Amino acid sequence: MIIKELSIIFPIYNEEERLKKSLYKITRLFKAFKLIKIEIILVNDGSTDKTHELISTFVKSIKKQNKNKIIYINYKKNRGKGHALKKGVKKATKQWILTCDIDFSTEPTEINKWIKLNYIKNEKDCYFGSRDIKKSKIKFRYYRKFIGNIFNIIVSLLFKLNVKDTQCGFKLYHKNYAKKIFSKLKERGYSHDVEIAILLNKNFINITELPIKWIHRGKSKVNIFYDGLTMIIKLLFIKLRY
């Protein structure tokens, strides 16, 4: 299946240190997706550093022919990654919607590989990039992998999802169901991925996990212990909700 239109959503929170490099990479996406009509949606989730100033300057610097391909959403109070993505999906106008992490741990151009290898077969399905399938090429820190495995075990015990990696930020949705699914999302934080998977299952939308190239980037905003414990507690609330 050929993707003709694509909204690429980047949730952003206090990314001052990494943002210049990431914004430069975003400018390269206009050429990388020559055959696909793209729009880039940047969602500033209440950053308290210079993120807003950097993005505002970046938007002003975009060449005239690409200015209408950039959408910037900014709000003052930090709500969480799930909330930021919900805002981005609501604003998206293209047929397909890709969510990505701003550190480019997975390059958005992985989509081109998925298309070339004919992985995307049905617009009624959802496609999760997965770090836990054989064909994926992953560079990670072992302690993060260990804690991630524990989280995945807890998810598998609590929910019947049949998904190996719920937490990878690289996910492809079709507009036909994405807006409905995200409108029902309650979880604002990092555990939103699990709730999204549950909502997809409840709406009979098949989740297909696909291989990606993923590289751990430094200066992550995720505190692996504090946020990890918070996510587990949130899972219990999600379990009660569904």
User: What's the pLDDT tens digit per position in 20-40?
Assistant: 999 999 999 999 998 899 999
Q: Are 109 and 129 in contact (CB under 8 A)?
A: no
**Secondary structure class of 147 (helix, strand, coil):** helix
Please, which pLDDT band fits residue 105 given cuts at 50, 70 and 90?
A: very high
Among positive and negative, which fits the CA dihedral 185, 223, 25, 60? positive
Cβ count near 215 (within 10 Å): 13
Average pLDDT of the chain? Answer: 92
Q: At what angle do helices 81-91 and 175-183 cross, to 10 degrees?
A: 140
Note the pLDDT of residue 142.
64
Note the pLDDT of residue 147.
72
236 has pLDDT over 80: yes
Q: Return the bridge partners of 210, or none.
A: 129
Burial 174-197 (b: 16+ CB within 10 A, else e): bbebbbebbeebebbebbbbbbbb
**5 or 242: which leads in pLDDT:** 5
Please, which pLDDT band fits residue 224 given cuts at 50, 70 and 90?
A: low
